Amino acid sequence: MDENRFSPRAQRALELAEQSAGELGHSYIGTEHMLLGLLREEEGIAHRVLVEQGLSENMVRQIIVSSVGRGAAGTKPTQGLTPRAKRMIESAVETAMRGGFGYVGTEHLLVGLLQDGRSMGVRILRAAGLSTQEVFEAVQRRLQEAPTGQQTVRAGEAKAETGEENVLKEFTKDLTAAARSGKLDPVIGRDEEIQRVIQILSR
């Protein structure tokens, strides 16, 4: 596996998650924003699965606003990822590793979200009337169809790495090593290196 490299679509979903948090006036990036990011990245497998299950961006936004409200206009998610959003990414990386995938795609991020039944993202899915088990099974079917092994990024997603992408690549490598050793920092948003990645993704 190519150091668990996020596919361009997964990177875009993360960018859209941060953007969504800012639009809602929230100072953090939670699993609810991750869910919005996956929905807004319309070329990703996660988007297709969620839409097929009957979810829409507007539904998620309405549930978020009714549950946690909107923040002040102009607020930016300077606190970074919440612990649950951090665990979602960890789980996505581990899912890709176990499956022998050469990339971390939006489908892996969605599996990571589903693995925490108490997260806001999963609570939103249930509030919208979705079965998390059915969503998981739909993603699993997609994963079984996807290429594995030494293939790094599916056709149409490959692009040359820039210096910024290399930082992201190093981050995922470090995150995987930390996950294996159980030495992950409890609050990802306070980690300087991860903050650099968040800043890169938000450009």
Give the global pTM. 0.73
| Residue 113, Cβ density class (10 Å: 0-12 exposed, 13-18 middle, ≥19 buried) | buried
Indicate the domain borders of the chain: 8-201
pLDDT per residue as tens digits for the range 5-27: 899 999 999 999 999 999 999 99
142 burial level (CB within 10 Å; 0-12, 13-18, 19+): middle
CATH for the 8-201 domain, from 1.10.1780.10, 1.10.10.1100, 1.10.340.30, 1.10.8.100? 1.10.1780.10
Mean pLDDT of 44-73: 95
